[in-house]
């Protein structure tokens, strides 16, 4: 439940940001494609309780894609790819769900498109680097930050291996969640491959036979096709919030 509510909040904030006009200090985007493995560990366990794989890509114009690899017991053709796409040329932010064959599209404002054409340099402040190393053939700066919640004892210690020449993208992250000083969960995000150059066209492709749906309708359609995907559900209040954001941005189209 907690993870679902966090997802709702982050997605809503991200969508509201589509109309936000950001600061000017930015650097140019580098075209690349990475594959990253994310592993979640609980205390006392050396074996992860969850592993997810993502393909993340940047185009030279600032367009970007994140593809979550989903297993599907209904087919032997390989993983399904749930996509989140920011397409600068098409001026749209798109969620593509392969389970329900749904597309959820938000128009991208001029201000947001201008922002995504470049990459914020603020994330590349490595002046406080603990050390500097080489990873996958790229120079990285190791930076550690502690984030504390203002109203509960939770804190997050995030150690990042940042590659400045790759849009400041972290090639590795270790995220430790602590309560009252004790670690309750650790997530390790490891990039396993980096390919420089324009991403393959299929990464940004949106299937022509998929149906445009509001967020709540997309969730219900996915569950109707595969009821085992209970992780796709969320409280009705969260769905209502996402639908409201969806409709308001669609009206600006």
* pTM: predicted TM-score of the whole model, two decimal places: 0.82
Residue 26: pLDDT band by 50, 70, 90 thresholds?
low
- Calculate mean pLDDT across residues 11-39: 62
Closest of 123, 59, 53, 60 to residue 85, by C-alpha: 59
Structural tokens at position 25: 């200090």
Q: Which residue has the tokens 């128009």?
A: 107
The pLDDT value given to residue 7: 41
Burial 181-200 (b: 16+ CB within 10 A, else e): eeeeebbbbbbeebeeebbe
Task: Express each pLDDT in 140-188 by its tens digit.
Answer: 999 999 988 788 888 999 999 999 999 889 999 999 999 988 999 999 9
**Structurally, how many domains does the chain consist of?**
1
Q: What is the pLDDT, as a whole number, of residue 117?
A: 77
At residue 2, the pLDDT reads 39
pLDDT, residue 119, reads: 60
120: exposed, middle or buried (Cβ count in 10 Å: 0-12, 13-18, 19+): middle
**Average predicted confidence (pLDDT) for the chain:** 83
Confidence of residue 237 (pLDDT cuts 50, 70, 90): confident
pLDDT at 219 over 50: yes
106, 113, 114 from 251: Cα distances, Å = 10, 18, 20
Q: How confident is the model at residue 233 (pLDDT cuts 50, 70, 90)?
A: low
The model's pLDDT over 201-213, given as tens digits with 9 standing for 90+, comes to 999 999 999 999 9
Which CATH number is 208's domain given? 2.50.20.10
Name the band, by pLDDT with cuts 50, 70 and 90, for residue 240: confident
**The pLDDT of residue 11 is above 50:** no
- Domain containing residue 117: 2-251
pLDDT at residue 112, as a whole number = 83
Looking at per-residue confidence, does 242 or 131 come out higher?
131
Find, among 25, 253, 230, 2, the residue nearest to 122 by Cα.
25
Whether the predicted pLDDT of 121 surpasses 90: no
Residue given tokens 């445009």 in the structure block: 212
| Structure tokens that stand for 177 in this block | 């969640």
* pLDDT surpassing 50 at residue 17: no
pLDDT digits (tens, 9 = 90+) for 39-52: 999 999 999 999 99
Minimum mean pLDDT among 15-29, 32-46, 151-165, 223-237: which range? 15-29
Q: Which two tokens stand for residue 41?
A: 């560990």
pLDDT digits (tens, 9 = 90+) for 61-92: 989 999 999 876 555 566 789 999 999 999 99
Q: In the prediction, which pLDDT does 12 show? A: 42
């Amino acid at each position: 439940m907690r993870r679902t509510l966090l997802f709702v909040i982050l997605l809503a904030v991200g969508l509201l940001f589509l109309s936000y006009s950001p600061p000017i200090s930015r650097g140019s985007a580098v075209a690349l494609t990475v594959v990253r493995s994310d592993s979640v560990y609980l205390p006392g366990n050396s074996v992860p309780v969850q592993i997810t794989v993502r393909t993340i890509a940047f185009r030279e114009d600032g367009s970007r894609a994140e593809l979550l690899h989903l297993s599907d017991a209904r087919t032997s053709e390989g993983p399904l790819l749930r996509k989140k796409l920011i397409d600068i040329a098409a001026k749209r932010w798109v969620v593509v769900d392969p389970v329900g064959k749904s597309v959820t599209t938000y128009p991208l404002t001029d201000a947001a498109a201008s922002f995504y054409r470049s990459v914020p340099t603020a994330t590349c402040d490595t002046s406080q680097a603990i050390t500097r190393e080489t990873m996958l053939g790229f120079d990285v700066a190791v930076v550690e930050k502690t984030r504390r919640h203002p109203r509960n004892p939770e804190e997050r210690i995030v150690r990042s291996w940042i590659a400045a020449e790759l849009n400041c993208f972290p090639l590795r992250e270790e995220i430790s969640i602590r309560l009252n000083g004790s670690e309750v969960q650790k997530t390790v995000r490891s990039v396993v491959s980096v390919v420089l150059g324009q991403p393959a066209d299929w990464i940004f492709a949106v299937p022509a036979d998929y149906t445009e749906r509001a967020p709540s309708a997309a969730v219900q359609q996915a569950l109707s096709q595969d009821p085992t995907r209970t992780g796709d559900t969320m409280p009705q209040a969260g769905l209502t919030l996402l639908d409201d954001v969806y409709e308001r941005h669609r009206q600006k189209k």
